[in-house]
Amino acid sequence: MTAAQLSVGTLMRLFSVKGGYMLGFSFLYGMSVWVTFFGGVIAFKTLSRPQFGALQHKTFPIYFALSLAITSYLIVAWVSLNPNVLKHAANPLVPEVAQAYTLASSILMQASNYFIVGPLTSKTMFQRAKLEKDEGKSYSDAGVSDQMKALNKRFGMLHGISSLANLGSVIALTFHGLWIGSLLA
C-alpha cells in the first residue's frame, strides 16, 4: 500500500466548510476560555480599578461581537453539514439538533451580553465613577449615599448576570467541543 502524498489539490481541500468550522470553533473556544478564566483575572489583579473598568469596557464589546459572529458562522455551517438538523429541528433528542440548540443557546447568551447587559453594566459603572468623584468617596467607603448604594446594587446584579451568561456560553461551547471531538475519534 502506497502512502498518500500531498498535492495542490489535497491542500486546496483544506479550505472547506469543515476546515473553517474547526478553525472557527478553536478560535472561539480558546478566546472564551482565556477571557473568562485568565485574561480578566490577570487584569483585575494587575490594574487599578479605573484602569480595569476602562479595559473591560473596551474589550468586552469586541469579545462579544467576535463571539456572536463566529458562533453564527458555526451554527450555519453545522446546519449545512448536518441535514438532520432541519429534518428534525423540533426534536432536541436528535444529537445533531441538540448541538444546534447548544450553539443557539451560546448565541443568545452572547447577544444578551453584547446588546443589553454589557451596555447597562458599563453605563452603571460610569455613573458610579461620576458619583464617586462628586461625593469624594469610593463606592466601597463607609457612609456612601443611598444613590451610591443603589448603583452598587445595580452594578453587582448586572455584573452577575453578565458573568453567568458568559459562563453559560463557555459551558455550552465546552459541551459542543466534547461532542465534535468525539466525532473525530
Is residue 6 predicted with pLDDT exceeding 90?
no
Model confidence band, residue 185 (pLDDT cutoffs 50, 70, 90) = low
Window from 4-18, 43-57, 156-170, 171-185 with minimum mean pLDDT: 4-18
Nearest CA-CA partner of 32 in 67, 80, 72, 69: 67
Instruction: Report the pLDDT averaged over residues 136-142.
Output: 92
Say what the pLDDT of residue 13 is.
83
Average per-residue pLDDT for the chain: 95
DSSP letters for the chain:
-PPP---HHHHHTTSSHHHHHHHHHHHHHHHHHIIIIIIHHHHHHHS-HHHHHHHHHHHHHHHHHHHHHHHHHHHHHHHHH-THHHHTTT-TTSHHHHHHHHHHHHHHHHHIIIIIIHHHHHHHHHHHHHHHHHHTS-TTSTT--HHHHHHHHHHHHHHHHHHHHHHHHHHHHHHHHHHHHHHH-
Say what the pLDDT of residue 53 is.
93
Q: Report the interhelical angle of 118-135 vs 146-184 (nearest 10°).
A: 150
pLDDT tens per residue across span 142-167: 999 999 999 999 999 999 999 999 99
pLDDT tens per residue across span 108-134: 999 999 999 999 999 999 999 999 999
